[in-house]
Structure 1
Amino acid sequence: MSDIKLAQSVTSEQKADRRSRPYSDDQRHTAQELANRARLLISCPDQPGIVAAIAQFLYQRGANIVQMDQYSAPPDVGLFFTRVEFDLPSMLQRLPELERAFVPVADAFQMEWRLAPACVPKRAAIFVSKEDHCLLELLWQWQTGDLFMDLAMVISNHPDARETVESLGVPFYHVPVDRDRKPQAEAKQLALLAGQVDVVILARYMQILSPEFVGRFPNRIINIHHSFLPAFVGRNPYGRAYNRGVKLIGATAHYVTDELDEGPIIEQDVHRVDHRATVADLKRIGRHVERVVLARAVKWHLEDRILIHDNKTIVFA
């Protein structure tokens, strides 16, 4: 414990303080708007009657559908995906009964499904190293209510962001990661996260997570890679892009799996460059793309807009 320098230990008092921390005005407005809203995400074999069954089920319980997106995959895949957002009075109190009642419908259509209350923000942890541009974008959008989440903590292998993070009332934990002591560092990180977060955001956290770590949060770790994958996987993508003479640079937000930079892609974007651009130019331009792409991906995850099939995502943005 002594050679892992935590900024502070997690006490029951600190946990209670985080849970009771008041929303900003923007966050409170978002919570009020979503008070009776829920989201139903479904994937199942494609067949007639699915939409009708869902709509009839919700209608019978007095729900009002406010948005419905759907996608039928090609016949060789034969799958149907949908996201239904609806309002229902006293939704939180009625959610357990709603889940039980939906089971026969789900069984009839062989659905994989989940029902999520929109008014309960997902608990998030942000991991960051020295570069803070993605972290700052997330913090700003969180403050304005554009990212509706409970920001539980920021963890970093460097102390640089402490003042920025703690000034917002968010716990900051400095966990150095030495090559020879990486398992011990991950153990401390996992102890901090245990039972406290629903999603982990890697905001240019320049460390490779172990399979054990990834396995604790399947499809719940979002990474930003400073390249338009699958090009330039791994380290120093801007330097390799420069050597290759690319005319487009980009960034990719994806879920983390055991395979480096191979997880399901959530969002990508690009920026045009030319022969005049130096490596420093590519990095400067790329930082803007990275922070925008990561924030979009995080927002879509928080709003339950992503369904995963095999190693691909269906994003109802």
Structure 2
Amino acid sequence: MSNRRFVLTLSCEDRPGIVAAVTTELADLGANIAESDQFWDRVTNQFFLRISILSPDSVSLESVQKSLDPVISRFDMKARLVDMDNRPKVIVMVSKFDHALLHILYQLRVGWMDAEVVAIVSNHETSRRTADIEGIPYYHWPVTKETKGEQEDRLLKLVHETGADLVVLARYMQVLSDNLSKRLFGKVINIHHSFLPSFKGAKPYHQAHARGVKMIGATAHYVTPDLDEGPIIEQDAERVSHSLSAEDFVARGRDIESRVLARAVKYHLENRVMIVGNKTIVFTQ
């Protein structure tokens, strides 16, 4: 028998009976729990839960939501139920360096991530050949101070026309405006080529090299109006030494960036990330 796949994420003040109430309703629908993760924040007394649900084909998203509504109301939950059989649509934005873009496309091709890239947007022509090979629409929108607003309007229109669920900045070297960052909050993931919160802004690897650091890394985060300050989803780092040049730092950093961004995108696509203020709860596998 085939099953429909749903993911439920919720948060509320912690108290006894939350998990029992939710799972009882799911059991009454004939649904099976494929995966369950929970976290209790002792400081705030907030409870967070992610459940991956398998249900018979006859059980719709609406029927699951209707069954859970009384529980959500009783515990005053913030809850989200997603149909995982609907493939998310993604727009990838890139500038000249395409390593992170290529890694995402590869992971999608081999099935490690499940999504449809509906567009590649760039302020350069560098990645057009890649888009043509993959059969993905390519939009070359050069950006100047005078055209920035117009370009962002075109991006918003493209998001609406394609029904994109996520915008990925795969080393897109343009700062999004405060207005766009607010309108797409929680739907834009950036890869910063540094281990935030250190070495923000331009040329972070060169900054790190000049400081003689022993670890370099990369950070994937949601975009907010505050530059490089958005909620962090994923990070990784690698040991380096004084014998390496700044160019060596950059080369190693590109490899880290590709891996970190792909993991962050995968977590988001699988609804494993919950934004809580200026940080995230990430239920990894």
Q: TM bucket by the smaller chain?
A: over 0.9
Measured on the aligned residues, the alpha-carbon RMSD in Å equals 1.3
Q: Aligned partner of 1:169: which letter?
A: G
Q: Deviations over 1:153-174 (max 9, x none)?
A: 1000001100111211111110
Find the partner of 1:294 among 261, 269, 285.
261
Structure 1 position 70, deviation (Å): 0.3
The whole-number CA distance in structure 1 between the counterparts of 2:175 and 2:208 is 21
Structure 1 position 195, deviation (Å): 4.0
Correspondences of 1:102-181 after superposition (within 5 Å): 102-181=68-147
Structure 1 position 220, deviation (Å): 1.0
Residue matched to 1:50: 18
The whole-number CA distance in structure 1 between the counterparts of 2:71 and 2:232 is 30
Match status 1:190 vs 2:156:
yes
| Larger CA deviation: 239-248 vs 188-197 | 188-197
Correspondences of 1:1-317 after superposition (within 5 Å): 36-74=4-42, 76-90=43-57, 94-196=60-162, 197-317=164-284
The whole-number CA distance in structure 2 between the counterparts of 1:188 and 1:41 is 32
For this pair of structures, how many residues does the alignment match? 283
The whole-number CA distance in structure 1 between the counterparts of 2:19 and 2:28 is 14
Q: Please state which structure has a larger fraction of its residues in strand.
A: 2
Structure 1 position 101, deviation (Å): 2.4
Structure 1 position 142, deviation (Å): 1.0
Gaps of 5+ in 2: none
Q: Aligned partner of 2:236: which letter?
A: D
Structure 1 position 190, deviation (Å): 1.8
TM-score (norm 1): 0.87
Structure 1 runs (4+) deviating above 4 angstroms are none
The whole-number CA distance in structure 2 between the counterparts of 1:85 and 1:195 is 30
The whole-number CA distance in structure 2 between the counterparts of 1:267 and 1:261 is 13
The whole-number CA distance in structure 1 between the counterparts of 2:31 and 2:151 is 47
The whole-number CA distance in structure 2 between the counterparts of 1:226 and 1:168 is 26
Contact kept? 2:167, 2:187, Cα under 8 Å? yes
Q: Aligned partner of 2:243: which letter?
A: R
The whole-number CA distance in structure 1 between the counterparts of 2:72 and 2:206 is 50
Q: What is the percentage of aligned positions where both structures have the same residue? A: 45
TM-score (norm 2): 0.96
Contact kept? 2:26, 2:64, Cα under 8 Å? no
Contact kept? 1:175, 1:189, Cα under 8 Å? no
Structure 1 position 180, deviation (Å): 2.3
Structure 1 position 212, deviation (Å): 1.7
